[in-house]
Structure 1
Amino acid sequence: MAIRRFITGGGVSRPLFVFPLLIYSLFILLSYGAKASYQNEVTNVGAIVVITSRIGKEEKTAMEIAAQKFNDSSKSRKVSLNFLASNMDPSKVASAAEELIEVKKMDAIVGMHSWQEAALVANVGERARVPVLSFAAPAITSPFIQLRWPFLIRMANNASAEVKCIADIVRGCNWRRVIVIYEEDAYGGDSGMSTLFAEALQNFDAEIDYSLILPPLSSLSDSEGFLHRELLKLQKTTRCRVFVVLRSSLPMVTNLFRKAKNVGLVGGESAWIIPDSITSLLDSADKSVLSSMEGAIGIKTHYDSFSKSYKEFSDQFQDKFKANYPHEVISNPGVYALRAYDSISIITEAIERMTGDKNSTQLLGNILSSHWSGLSGDLRFEGRELTQAPLFKIMYVAGNRSSEIDIWTPEHEEDRNSNETWPHLTRVPGGWEMPTPSKPLRIIVPGNHPFEQFVKVDSSNKPSGFCIDIFYGVLNNSLNNRDDLRRLHYEFVPSNGTFDELIALVSNKIYDGIVGDLTIQSNRSKLVDFTQPYIESSLVMIVPAKPDPSAWLFMKPFSGTLWLLTLVSLLYTMFMVWFLEHKSNDEFKGSFKEQISTILWFAFCSLFFANREKINSNLTRVVVVVWFFLVFVLTSSYTANLSSMLTIQRQDNGVTINSLKKENLKVGYLKGNFFRKYLVEGLRFTSTNIKPLNREVEFKREFESKDGIDVALLELPYAKVFLQKYCKGYTSIPANYRFGGFGFAFQKGSPLAREFSEAILRISENGVLYELENKWLNPSNGCPDPNVANSDYTEGLGPKRFWVLFAIFFSTSTGCFLLSLFRLSLKNFPRSQVANQVNATQRNHSSTGPKVAGVALAASFYGKLRGRARFHPEGGSSSSSYISTDHRVN
């Protein structure tokens, strides 16, 4: 009955009324409890730092400031920091990180300055699915790194930017060889930085000359003794003095600099470059440390130290740091403190954006999606690594402090050099040990040269010759501001090895350089540094001279047109002399046959300036003088061109490189140089057809031998020397194959190669090199230049080259001829008719007109010319109209 009433609603039932209220109350209670739990949620962050070091102290202080700031501002979530000291080997760090995650329930891990530690902790974080923020990154980023460690976030860039910055400093200072120094990590490596650095140096033809590998400082029982021995070994091994510390701890670098300064490797021409991990700590380093690093160049991560947020953080940091570490003198925050602060700020910012309960995957996603400006720079991740390329400040250590001299950016790495970028530096070290009296340059010279004009060593081992004189000329014309080459300390060491063997000795640092006739080649330039070539070099063929078979060679110096024009000029001269002289000169009178004989003999004698006939007329003398000048020019040109043609006919044997190979002729070459490989591999000669010869006289002996050589292939300077002695029996034919020229060689990276090159250019410009070449190499008188091509003289001279001379001759001769005709016409004109005409004209005209004046002037002129009468306009004369006692034509 009651049940039915309850169901049917017959009246209000009390249990039915209370049930909804109970359900609503329970919902409110559960919601409030969940909210209370959400508002009190704490995120545990484990920090692995070296608390006893300066870096660890800065990082711990900065993290605490960031956590405290978040806890004070956030009412719903809190952050709890748990610090773990990492001054232990990486395997123990990994086990400690595992304890933090599994026992202390850490929600995130930050810290780790070595990539080995970061990788091991990342393995732990991957298994526990806990985000790991690392302050370290590998030198070379693998494309599979995020697949292997998906919960690893790198709060740092790889080493590529830092390595490029160091390499750019090396390039800007024109250093070509460097010594790399690094302290091994716990696994005995350098994390690949040496490989990365070597690749960066190759971009501008620089390379690593020596690697000084240092074990971890903690593994050395006598670190000072070890460093001293290694530095002395380095000092004896190489002259390179550019030291690049790629990675090391500050205590190791401090000991290294102190020992290097004791052995003389700091200062002078030595240059030191220190990495970001060391330079960033110099502000807080002891003054004695800075003093030992005097002159070093360092790189330091650039950050904005003038922003409002930085100044606020800096004030908080200094107060807290002084309170926690009162014995520390310097309390300014460094880049490590800024990066640690930003790491905690990233975590707290990610926590703020979380919804619901703690979730490691959501926390990881929020961290990776962060994009805001932190104290250390722009914070944005791509591929679980910071995307912003770091900027570096280039610092210079001087006067117990480091000062900024430039800011390096990857975009402008190719636009700088030491002179423009660092004007505050008084000098850039040479980066190479300059020779001293106790340790002079050891320079090799060829001890037994086949051509003694280049290098000759006497019984006292004193060298002389063309190459040695160039070396002395370079020293005397040096204008180097850093270390004048005139004060260069050196000693010559004669050696009888081949040039390739000598180059190997220099490349292996047994000797410092080579002075001699060393041909510059691409394969050799990989082993040594060559100077500017001091003489050109090309392939020349020496062949026996052959006489000209043509009997009409004497006609070839002039073209047919010029011969014809010369004959016409001769005949014209004959006619002119006869015409001007035969009436007044008894030597040109007589019968027609006698006159022809005389004028022919006069003309042909004039070709040799041997005529003896007396000349009376001044006009004839003018004609003869112009003819003599024409004859002189023509005969000189004929002689020169005929000599050249005789020489060229001796050269014109039809010999070419192809004909030598085709006819299997025997070819001789100078033993000991690169020629055998060049002839066989380059020019494709059969090895049985080429013969090496040791001495200059052997070439002549082989030419004269029945089974000897047909052609000698020599470099141009050697051919010049050979033809100095044997030009009358041999001639040269250029083969049109060029080489790099002769130069000196020095060790790779040596600044002497550059300084010698500048001095060689200087003696080339001031004429010293030309004088030395004339002294030692130029052919004697009558010998041709082996470098002159034949085609310049194969054609006879034509009239175009002498048309001005012929024009002067014909115009002068013709002028004299016309003048003579005019004088004859005046002479034959009747004198009485002239006088009568003048008188008649005066009577017919009342005044003197222009015609009378003109006739009188002509008559007066003729009278003066004759020297016998004077005309007067009035018609009278001093005595008579004409007084004439001599009828010769002058």
Structure 2
Amino acid sequence: MEKARRAMFFLLLLIADFSVAQDTAGEADEFHVGVILDLGSLVGKVARTSVLLAAQDFYTVHRNYSTKLVLHVVDSAGSDVQAASAAIELLESYKVQAIIGPQKSSEAVFISNIGNVTQVPIISFTATSPSLTYNSMPYFVRATLDDSTQVKSIAALVQACGWREVVAVYEDTDYGRGILPYLTDALQEIDVRVPYRSAIPSSATNETIMQELGVLIAMQTRVFIVHMSSIMASLIFTKAKEVGMMNKGFAWITTNGVANIIDSLNPSVIEAMEGVLGVRCHVPRSQELDNLSIRWNRMYQQDNPYESPFNKLSIVGLWGYDTIWAIAHAAEKVGISSARDKQPWPTKSSTCLESMVISTNGPELLSVIVQNKFRGLSGEFDLTDRQQLKVSVFQIINVVERGWREIGFWTVNGLLRKLKRDYSKKTGQASMLDLNPVIWPGESTEIPMGWEIPRVGKKLRVGVCSSEFTEFIKTYKDPITNATTASGLSIDIFEEAVKRLHRPLSYEYLEFDTADAPISGSYNDFVYQVYLQKYEIAVADITIRSNRSLYVDFTAPYTESGVGMIVPVKENVNTDMWLFLKPLSTEMWFGSIVCFLYTGVVVWLLEHLIGNEHVHVPFSLKQLAITIFSIFEES
């Protein structure tokens, strides 16, 4: 009995030891990673849920991994200084081996400089400014597309609509300014001008925005390309609707910064944006993506119980999700052992930065991250060039009825309605016909012209000048109202041209007084007023001269120049029937006949000597014909 008890105890001890050993073997080494996000912003909240869910899903699939990511999420509060301070705290307190974020491009510059010194990789899936390059920031990796990749799709859309001028409305930050050189170059390639750039400060108040919209509505251009954060864009479109800039005749295009998260915007903002076009990254639908969206929505509501239920998983969240998987794979390959051995960071002054140390496995971790290629939920995840490779497809959307609908895609082959069909490359307005119908602002189905004489502000100033020839132009100024009226051929032509415009033109006549100056001199002065911008247009019987062409451009002349050619005319034309003999003189005709007869005699004689049977018979008409034929044959 005693032996049986000892055997049972020994068996239980073995089972306990085995369980402890199994638990010890199941404990994975912690790989600390910092996450810096603006948790007060929509993008920050979406990204936080995505990275946390990605870590859960990864280790649910890879239970046997010896390493495990431990995410430390901190709030940057949208401040560059706060983001840099958070990065230092993560490095000091948690000894993080990598930092995910930072959310803003300006924050990425601060934190990447710290990463360069400590050799800690900085991976951002939200900083999209093209100015961020690994040449100056070797430990910075962009796990998203930079903004320059979308400019060709925007330019193709502008060209398809036939617009010649656009206004860039952007946030006055590193993010907003970064796209401008690339956007301007893309538009210049299709001969589209950017006459004005509207820079909106990130701290702009409602009053500041209303003042800037007043400047825009006073311009002739009616096409606006908006590149700013979702918070600023929401304010812009809400105020634009209040001042009537979302009515018929206006056109708005948003970049993917807003279009990518259009589903998560406030319904009142989406309603104000009705008619807006947007360019966004295209992610094909899949069953795996639908399943992730369901779990993401559940987790987001748990983390943000007081947030709007309209927030949805976007491409930004998918980039964050795939980034976590890439870092988790890299952490498993690099391991933890070398990460625990760090060297102090030498400093010349005594500061809190003395406690920061250089990561010994940072270069190896960076190398593994950029070499990790896989098919993620956002598409092909490839960081070979230290940034996500350029996508070849952008989705064009149209905001309608408190939502959006797809109107087509942009690829290297141009604008397409469907991706599955094989289209030939088309450009210009012909490509617009391949897209689904667009509902423009004001519920219009017609493509806006892109310009309009503003209803507010000054009228077009048309200078007129009385002429000695009143049939051309005659002016009259009302002494009471001081209004100028004009009549004559020149005025009739000008007003007929105005009627043929697609939009009404508001103008007023301004008389140029020529009473105190000679006519010739006064016309030079009159033309010069256009150069001085006193008038936008000058209408009169103005002669086009070289000295005047130095200052203004003239239209094509609408009267005959008066230049003609004078040639002598002979009335005594010879109508004799023998007129055909005139080209040769009498002597030439006589000489020609003699030569002809001489040739005939010689031919006849030669034929007679050789015994031609036709020649030895009595002379007849037949012989004459043969002789003539022989003459032409010999000649």
If the length of structure 2 is used for normalisation, what is the TM-score?
0.70
Match of 1:197 in 2: 183
Partner of 2:475: 457
Structure 1 segments unaligned to the other structure (5+ residues):
1-32, 520-536, 538-669, 679-739, 745-772, 780-784, 808-890
Q: Among residues 476, 489, 492, which one is paired with 1:469 in the alignment?
A: 492
Distance 1:395 1:240 in 2: 22
**Matched residue, 1:407:** 409
Give RMSD over aligned pairs.
Answer: 3.7
**AA paired with 1:79?**
L
Aligned pairs for 1:609-624 (under 5 A) are none
Aligned pair partner of 1:447 in 450, 465, 468: 465
**SS of the residue 2:374 aligns to:** strand
* Aligned match of 2:585: none
Aligned to 1:106, what secondary structure does the other structure show?
coil
Maintained 8 Å contact 1:440/1:491: no
Per-residue CA deviations over 1:647-691 (Å, capped at 9, x if unaligned) read xxxxxxxxxxxxxxxxxxxxxxx586126x99xxxxxxxxxxxxx
In structure 1, C-alpha distance between the alignment counterparts of 2:326 and 2:190, rounded to whole Å: 40
AA of the residue aligned to 2:511:
P
Matched, 1:346 2:332: no
SS at match of 1:673: helix
Q: Is contact 1:113-1:136 (8 Å) kept? A: yes
Q: CA deviation at 1:215?
A: 1.8
Contact kept in structure 2, 1:49 and 1:85, CA below 8 Å: yes
* 2:54 aligned residue: 66
Contact 1:161 1:410 in 2 (8 A): no
Checking the alignment, whether the CA contact within 8 Å between 2:474 and 2:486 is kept in structure 1 is: yes
Does 2:530 correspond to 1:502?
Answer: yes
Does the aligned pair in 1 maintain the 2:38–2:75 contact within 8 Å? yes
Partners of 1:333 and 1:805 lie apart in 2 by: 101
Q: Secondary structure at the match of 1:312?
A: helix
Amino acid in the other structure paired with 2:427: D
Distance 2:322 2:299 in 1: 17
| Cα pair distance change 1:126/1:457, threshold 3 Å | same
**How far apart, CA to CA, are the structure 1 residues paired with 2:532 and 2:407?**
41
Q: Tell me the amino acid that sits aligned with residue 373 of structure 2.
A: H
- Aligned: 1:432 with 2:451: yes
- Secondary structure of 2:317 counterpart: helix
Match of 1:159 in 2: 147
Written as runs of structure 1 = structure 2, the 5 A alignment for 1:549-564 is: none
The code of the aligned residue for 1:370 comes to: N
> 1:255 maps to which residue?
235
* 2:206 aligned counterpart, secondary structure: helix
Task: Look up the SS of the partner of 2:95 in the other structure.
Answer: coil
Q: Determine if the alignment matches structure 1 residue 310 to structure 2 residue 300.
A: no
Counterpart residue type for residue 92 of structure 1: Q
* % identical equivalent positions: 27
Offset of residue 63 of structure 1: 0.9
- Cα deviation 1:400-446 (Å, max 9, x = unaligned): 1122212123452772537424441211122323465x878424134
- Contact 1:318/1:333, CA 8 A, preserved across alignment: yes
The one-letter code of the counterpart of 1:494 is E
1:588-622 deviations in Å (ceiling 9; x for gaps): xxxxxxxxxxxxxxxxxxxxxxxxxxxxxxxxxxx
Q: Name the amino acid aligned to 1:62.
A: S
3-state SS in 2 of match to 1:361: helix
CA distance in 2, matches of 1:86, 1:439: 44
2:50 match: secondary structure: helix
Matched, 1:174 2:186: no
What SS does the aligned partner of 1:294 have?
Answer: coil
Match of residue 490, structure 1, among 503, 507, 518: 507
Indicate the residue corresponding to 2:592 in structure 1. none
- Report if the CA contact (8 A) 1:301-1:390 is conserved: no
How far residue 235 of structure 1 moved from its aligned partner, in angstroms, is 3.2
Q: Deviations over 1:1-35 (max 9, x none)?
A: xxxxxxxxxxxxxxxxxxxxxxxxxxxxxxxx9x9
How many residues are treated as equivalent by the alignment? 501
Which residue of the partner structure matches residue 519 of structure 2? none
Local SS of the residue matching 1:353: helix
Q: Distance in 2 between matches of 1:93 and 1:470?
A: 65
Which of the two has higher C-alpha Rg? 1
Asked whether 1:245 is paired with 2:226, we answer yes
User: How far apart are 1:513 and its partner, in Å?
Assistant: 4.9
Distance in structure 2 (CA, Å) of the matches to 1:517 and 1:389: 58
In the alignment, which residue of structure 2 is the partner of 1:150? 138
CA contact (8 A) 2:397 2:405 kept: yes
Provide closer, same or farther for how the CA distance between residues 50 and 335 of structure 1 changes in structure 2, counting only shifts above 3 A. same
Alpha carbons of structure 1 residues 342 and 518: separation in structure 2 relative to 1, 3 Å: farther
Amino acid at match of 1:372: F
- Residues 518 and 742 of structure 1 are in contact (CA less than 8 Å); yes or no, is this contact kept in structure 2? no
Contact 1:445/1:455 (<8 A) preserved: no
Distance of 2:366 and 2:32 partners within structure 1: 14
Post-superposition offset of 1:355: 6.2
Hey, what's the Cα distance between the residues in 1 that align with 2:265 and 2:160?
A: 28
Higher relative contact order (CA 8 A, sep 6+): 2
Once residues 794 and 89 of structure 1 are traced to their aligned partners in structure 2, the CA distance between those partners, rounded to angstroms, is 90
**From 96, 105, 110, the counterpart of 1:106:** 96
The within-5 A match list for 1:708-727 is: none
Distance in 1 between residues matched to 2:296 and 2:188, nearest whole Å: 43
Deviations 1:57-111 (CA, angstroms, capped at 9, x unpaired): 2211111121112222232221111101121421221121022123211111111
Q: Is the 8 A contact 2:29 2:336 kept in 1?
A: no
Q: Please tell me whether the aligned partners of residues 63 and 341 of structure 1 are also in contact (alpha carbons under 8 angstroms).
A: yes
Residues 1:132 and 2:155 aligned together: no
Q: Hey, what does 2:37 align to over in structure 1?
A: 49
CA distance in 1 between partners of 2:577 and 2:401 (Å): 79
CA–CA distance in structure 1, aligned partners of residues 539 and 577 of structure 2 = 53
Measure how far apart 1:147 and its partner are: 3.6
TM-score in terms of structure 1 length? 0.51
Please give the secondary structure, in 1, of the residue aligned with 2:310. Answer: coil
Partners of 1:65 and 1:151 in 2: CA distance: 26
What letter is aligned with 1:74? R
Structure-2 separation of matches of 1:384 and 1:517 = 66
Q: Do 1:181 and 1:245's aligned partners in 2 also have CA atoms closer than 8 Å?
A: yes
Partner amino acid, structure 2, of 1:212: S
Give 1:282-301 correspondences, 5 Å limit: 282-301=262-281
Give the distance between the partners of 1:491 and 1:125, measured in 2 at CA.
Answer: 64
Structure-1 residue corresponding to 2:433: 420
* One-letter amino acid of the counterpart of residue 61, structure 1: T
**Aligned counterparts of 1:102 and 1:320: Cα–Cα separation in 2:** 30
Change (3 A) 1:320 1:465: same
| Aligned pair partner of 1:216 in 202, 227, 231 | 202
SS at match of 2:134: helix
Q: What is the distance in 2 between the residues matched to 1:515 and 1:398?
A: 46
> Which secondary structure does the structure 2 equivalent of 1:265 belong to?
coil
Question: Residue 229 in 1 paired to residue 211 in 2?
Answer: yes
**Counterparts of 2:176 and 2:542, CA distance in 1:** 40
CA distance in structure 2 between the aligned counterparts of 1:312 and 1:797, rounded to whole angstroms = 100
> CA 1:264–1:331 in 2, change beyond 3 Å: closer, same or farther?
closer
CA–CA separation in structure 2 for the residues paired with 1:138 and 1:58: 17
- Between the aligned partners of 1:42 and 1:198, the Cα distance in structure 2 is 48
Question: Would the aligned equivalents of 1:396 and 1:405 in 2 still touch at CA under 8 Å?
Answer: yes
Higher helix share: 1
